[in-house]
Structure 1
Amino acid sequence: MSGVQSAASIWDRERIWVTAGASALIFFAAIEALAVTTVMPVVSDALDGDALYAIAFAGTLATSVIGMVAAGAWSDARGPRGALYVAVSLFIAGLLISGFATTMPQFLIGRLVQGLGTGGQTVALYVVVARLYPPQLHGRVFAAFAAAWVVPSMIGPFLAGAVAEYLDWRWAFLGVAVLTAVAFLVIVVRLRHLDLGHGAPQDRRALRRRLLLAVVVAALAVLVGFSADMAPQVGWPLALGSLVVIGFAVVPLLPRRTLRAAPGLPSVVLTRGLAAGAFFAAEAYVPYLLMERFGFTSTWAGIALMLAAFAWAGASALQGRIGDRLGNRRIAAIALGSIVMALVCILLAALYGILLVIVGWGFGGGGMGLLYPRLTVLTLAYSGEGDQGFNSSALSIAENTGSALAIAVAGLGVASLGGGAGAFSAVYALCIALALLAVVPGLRLGHAAEKR
């Protein structure tokens, strides 16, 4: 039996098309994420939506929380197949709505629908991995998912920038919708013949409560984003009040004692949320900084993101090979230190006009590439079959809630300060604080492999 397990591969006959299809879905999600970051300055200008720039990112991340909770519960109750199908369909629908939008509100509706699909797709794929692949292959699967970011890293930002500059920004959304539909068909054909396990009875009352809380978190996170379009004396109190309510509402959606950074799974989830908030809030304003402060075109601003994406993919592969030897605490320290270094470089660029953004941001991508796969593997290692959906959704909820709130608060700060060097500096100072705070749970990740 051990010989059979040792010969198992993510590319064997039983799993090859699932691995390929899931990696393709990750690939096109990566293309879209990188494309949005690159073309958003062009979109906000074309649709006269500068005041709502941040909500185009934060809104998608916020509604993804609803998709995560729904997909996690669906996966635990009935298996991940149906949850994945609905999630990918919503993702495609959102891309089409945004791609055909003629006003900023229409564009934002598409982004909100897309968020529902993105969140559900991520959780469902994690549960597919947990059910279909043996534990010894989990690290390789997530390394393959990380590798699915390599080609988007090479061509995604540049291609999106070139499309926006020479064709039309709409194709950055419509093209991804068509390609995702093709990848979706591949995985649908294969998954219908595979046993992904049976669901377990669920407490419907508890599920309704979790869904309601997810809606509250998402709605208030969107409200924080919209506060940037209000007068500061109204926007800031509204945003701060929303943040307090979100803090209470998100607690039941996460493992117990997550906000207290308890050792083990709670710290894994909290580290993900804080690191994501620091990195993605900063990244949302990197192209904006390059185009406003240094006069880059959208094409060249896209190229500037490539080094970070390369570093992310390379560090993910390195973690897959030597992660066990490095250990969880050392990985967290190195990764978060790299992210802080990147943010300091960009802060100096914003303050003094020193073009440290491109090289500096590469350290951030490397740090995230080292940290992210490790946190995902640890989450599955801490999970049993009955709570894989909950724990996977909790990890993604922390990530997207942290990112959405950080981006929304950053957008409010930029709007209040009126743009310019001071506004960008405030964004990156916030992100540095979040990255430093992530060190606390990052040193308390525990040793999930020893518990199994």
Structure 2
Amino acid sequence: MTIDTGEVRTATASAPGIMSGTYLWITIGACALVFLGAFESLAVTTVMPVVSADLGGERLYALAFAGPLATGVIGMVAAGNWADRRGPVEPLYTAVAVFVAGLLVAGLAPSMEILVAGRFAQGLGSGALTVALYVVVARVYPRDLHPAIFAGFAAAWVVPSLIGPTVAGMVTELWSWHWVFLGVVALVLVALLMVVPALKNLARDGGDRSIPWSLGLLGWSVLAAVAVLALDLLGDVPGAGPVLAVAAVIVALIAVRPLLPKGSLAARRGLPSVILVRGLAAAAFFGTQVYIPYLLTDRYDFTPTLAGLSLTGGALAWSAAATVQGRMGTRLSSVVAVRIGTGLVVAGILLALVSAVLHMHALAIVAAWIVAGTGMGLMSPRTSALTLEMSTPENQGFNSSAMTVADSFSSALSLAVTGVLFATAASAAAVADPFVVVFAFAGAVAVAAAVLSPRLAPRAHGDAAREVAAP
């Protein structure tokens, strides 16, 4: 017998799969919600130049991207605390409502200011939605199916990177950019209806209402988001820019500390290291990825379309690796999967670094990103599974929130830092190649993730793995 989230479950040999009759509709619906959130995040990249030109919003162009990432952190923290107190049903419904409201506001926006406000609401709802879905997974699926459902979530994030920009471009050309937002509304509601039957059972099994509302955590999340957004702006301040940027990083790290399990920034063994390694891997991967097309366009004369397609190999590798690890289930230890995955991320980024230094063939850079994508597909779903495995029903919401906060915060912070590094190196091109500087920084972050990956295993089995609770 295995015990998961307070319920006794049968042996893994008799457990149905995530696409069986028991879980079919919630699996499809949950993956569809993840897919639609990811589609919006990626599709906007294609249509935003058209939106900006149409609404005269060049001044707010960057904020339309950075804003949702920042408000997403706030949504994650709020949903995590709410799910611990009341269960995941209420925060999930609310997250969908806020996300849909953001889509409607953005899709109907007559000005760039209103569109950015809609994007802020989208980020808030999307961040809360992700955390609520993780808690739903913990309450609905047996633990041995967690790698498989998280592989589905990983694929739902990757597929939009393959089709999102193209579909968004076609919709904009055939109709209008407004429908890139408005057309998703109906699809979100359909996906939610698929999940509703499973939520009815969860509504009778709420959380622990003795857990206090964490207004302090919400305040820290707001400060962390503001600090990350400020980093992009402060780096350009004449004279004091670098000092202010460093101060923003320090404030951001101080603010995010209460949002993570105790000991996360100190790499304490067990769950804190799971969260830290996941965040470091995401920071390294996405801090590099945004500069791959830039390098290919700048140094190899790739067209923008071809340079963007260079990331397709990495996206497909991520999806394939996530599928493989999901099918392997318990035959592949989660800790081993993360160790191998972080090692592949290091290898991919270092290959990209060497390619930039030696001006190797463009195919070497494409191959590097396939290796890095394989690593992320292998380790990312397993860090999700480990997080739930090391959680109790009382802190599943907080720990799920911490996991997604680590993803979003570390990626945003990494992009802000690499942006400052790239701009600084580009202004002194004779001294340092900006691409080499960025890849070297990301490589160092990836090495840190790989070095810390052995600390994922707790000191002892059983309840010792669950000793870390919300602060």
Q: Report the counterpart of residue 372 of structure 1 in structure 2.
A: 380
For residues 434 and 145 of structure 1, do their structure 2 counterparts lie closer, same or farther at Cα, with a shift above 3 Å needed?
same
Q: Report the counterpart of residue 313 of structure 1 in structure 2.
A: 319
Question: Is 1:272 equivalent to 2:283 in the alignment?
Answer: no
The answer (yes or no) to whether the contact 2:338–2:383 under 8 Å persists in 1 is no
Q: Report the counterpart of residue 446 of structure 1 in structure 2.
A: 457
Q: For residues 80-114 of structure 1, give each alpha carbon's deviation from its aligned partner in whole angstroms, at most 9, with x where no partner exists.
A: 11111221232333344455667765554443322
Written as runs of structure 1 = structure 2, the 5 A alignment for 1:269-418 is 269-322=275-328, 324-348=330-354, 350=356, 352=359, 354-355=361-362, 356-418=364-426
**More contact order relative to length (CA 8 Å, sep ≥ 6):** 1
For residues 393 and 149 of structure 1, do their structure 2 counterparts lie closer, same or farther at Cα, with a shift above 3 Å needed?
closer
Q: Distance in 1 between matches of 2:48 and 2:366?
A: 19
For residues 407 and 47 of structure 1, do their structure 2 counterparts lie closer, same or farther at Cα, with a shift above 3 Å needed?
farther
2:240 alignment partner, SS class:
helix
For residues 79 and 29 of structure 1, do their structure 2 counterparts lie closer, same or farther at Cα, with a shift above 3 Å needed?
same
Q: For residues 244-280 of structure 1, give each alpha carbon's deviation from its aligned partner in whole angstroms, at most 9, with x where no partner exists.
A: 1222222221111111111110100000111111112
Q: 1:210 aligns with which of 193, 204, 217?
A: 217
The answer (yes or no) to whether the contact 1:54–1:408 under 8 Å persists in 2 is no
The answer (yes or no) to whether the contact 1:157–1:302 under 8 Å persists in 2 is no
Q: Distance in 1 between matches of 2:444 and 2:171?
A: 35
Q: 1:74 aligns with which of 45, 67, 82?
A: 82
Give how far 1:194 is off.
4.8
Q: Which moved more, 1:43-52 or 1:54-63?
A: 43-52
Written as runs of structure 1 = structure 2, the 5 A alignment for 1:122-271 is 122-149=130-157, 151-160=159-168, 172-188=180-196, 191-192=199-200, 194-195=202-203, 197-204=205-212, 207-228=214-235, 230-271=236-277
Q: How many residues are paired up?
A: 450
Q: Distance in 1 between matches of 2:38 and 2:76?
A: 18
The answer (yes or no) to whether the contact 1:60–1:114 under 8 Å persists in 2 is yes
Q: Distance in 2 between matches of 1:448 and 1:160?
A: 48
For residues 214 and 368 of structure 1, do their structure 2 counterparts lie closer, same or farther at Cα, with a shift above 3 Å needed?
same
Q: Which moved more, 1:76-85 or 1:414-423?
A: 414-423
Give how far 1:408 is off.
1.4
Give how far 1:34 is off.
3.6
1:300 alignment partner, SS class:
helix
For residues 134 and 449 of structure 1, do their structure 2 counterparts lie closer, same or farther at Cα, with a shift above 3 Å needed?
farther
The answer (yes or no) to whether the contact 1:80–1:196 under 8 Å persists in 2 is no
For residues 281 and 170 of structure 1, do their structure 2 counterparts lie closer, same or farther at Cα, with a shift above 3 Å needed?
farther
Written as runs of structure 1 = structure 2, the 5 A alignment for 1:41-80 is 56-80=64-88
The answer (yes or no) to whether the contact 2:82–2:88 under 8 Å persists in 1 is yes
Give how far 1:396 is off.
1.1
Q: Distance in 1 between matches of 2:443 and 2:108?
A: 37
For residues 319 and 450 of structure 1, do their structure 2 counterparts lie closer, same or farther at Cα, with a shift above 3 Å needed?
farther
2:391 alignment partner, SS class:
coil
Q: Distance in 2 between matches of 1:290 and 1:101?
A: 35
Q: For residues 362-412 of structure 1, give each alpha carbon's deviation from its aligned partner in whole angstroms, at most 9, with x where no partner exists.
A: 111111100101100000110111111011111111111111111112223
For residues 287 and 104 of structure 1, do their structure 2 counterparts lie closer, same or farther at Cα, with a shift above 3 Å needed?
farther
Q: Distance in 1 between matches of 2:303 and 2:227?
A: 34
For residues 380 and 260 of structure 1, do their structure 2 counterparts lie closer, same or farther at Cα, with a shift above 3 Å needed?
same
Question: Is 1:422 equivalent to 2:396 in the alignment?
Answer: no
The answer (yes or no) to whether the contact 2:140–2:198 under 8 Å persists in 1 is no
The answer (yes or no) to whether the contact 2:288–2:438 under 8 Å persists in 1 is yes
* TM-score normalised by length of structure 2: 0.83
Q: Which moved more, 1:332-341 or 1:350-359?
A: 350-359
The answer (yes or no) to whether the contact 1:68–1:123 under 8 Å persists in 2 is yes
Give how far 1:316 is off.
0.8
One-letter amino acid matched to 1:269:
I
Give how far 1:200 is off.
0.7
Q: Distance in 2 between matches of 1:243 and 1:100?
A: 36
Q: Distance in 1 between matches of 2:79 and 2:204?
A: 15
One-letter amino acid matched to 1:445:
L
2:214 alignment partner, SS class:
helix
Give how far 1:125 is off.
0.2
One-letter amino acid matched to 2:377:
G
Question: Is 1:92 equivalent to 2:100 in the alignment?
Answer: yes
Q: Distance in 1 between matches of 2:257 and 2:450?
A: 20
Q: Which moved more, 1:276-285 or 1:19-28?
A: 276-285
One-letter amino acid matched to 2:26:
V
Give how far 1:54 is off.
6.3
Question: Is 1:431 equivalent to 2:442 in the alignment?
Answer: yes
One-letter amino acid matched to 2:278:
R
Q: Distance in 2 between matches of 1:276 and 1:32?
A: 20
For residues 89 and 286 of structure 1, do their structure 2 counterparts lie closer, same or farther at Cα, with a shift above 3 Å needed?
farther
Structure 2 portions without partners, runs of 5+: 1-8, 464-471
Q: Distance in 2 between matches of 1:246 and 1:120?
A: 20
One-letter amino acid matched to 2:205:
G
For residues 15 and 325 of structure 1, do their structure 2 counterparts lie closer, same or farther at Cα, with a shift above 3 Å needed?
closer
Q: 1:121 aligns with which of 111, 129, 145?
A: 129
Q: For residues 227-246 of structure 1, give each alpha carbon's deviation from its aligned partner in whole angstroms, at most 9, with x where no partner exists.
A: 35x33533322221121122
Backbone CA RMSD of aligned residues: 3.4
For residues 38 and 437 of structure 1, do their structure 2 counterparts lie closer, same or farther at Cα, with a shift above 3 Å needed?
farther
The answer (yes or no) to whether the contact 1:127–1:388 under 8 Å persists in 2 is yes
The answer (yes or no) to whether the contact 2:144–2:329 under 8 Å persists in 1 is no
Q: Distance in 1 between matches of 2:435 and 2:52?
A: 18
State the structure with more CA Rg: 2
Q: Which moved more, 1:78-87 or 1:267-276?
A: 78-87
* TM-score normalised by length of structure 1: 0.86
The sequence identity of aligned pairs, in percent, is: 46
Q: Distance in 2 between matches of 1:160 and 1:360?
A: 28
Q: Distance in 1 between matches of 2:302 and 2:114?
A: 28
Give how far 1:134 is off.
2.0
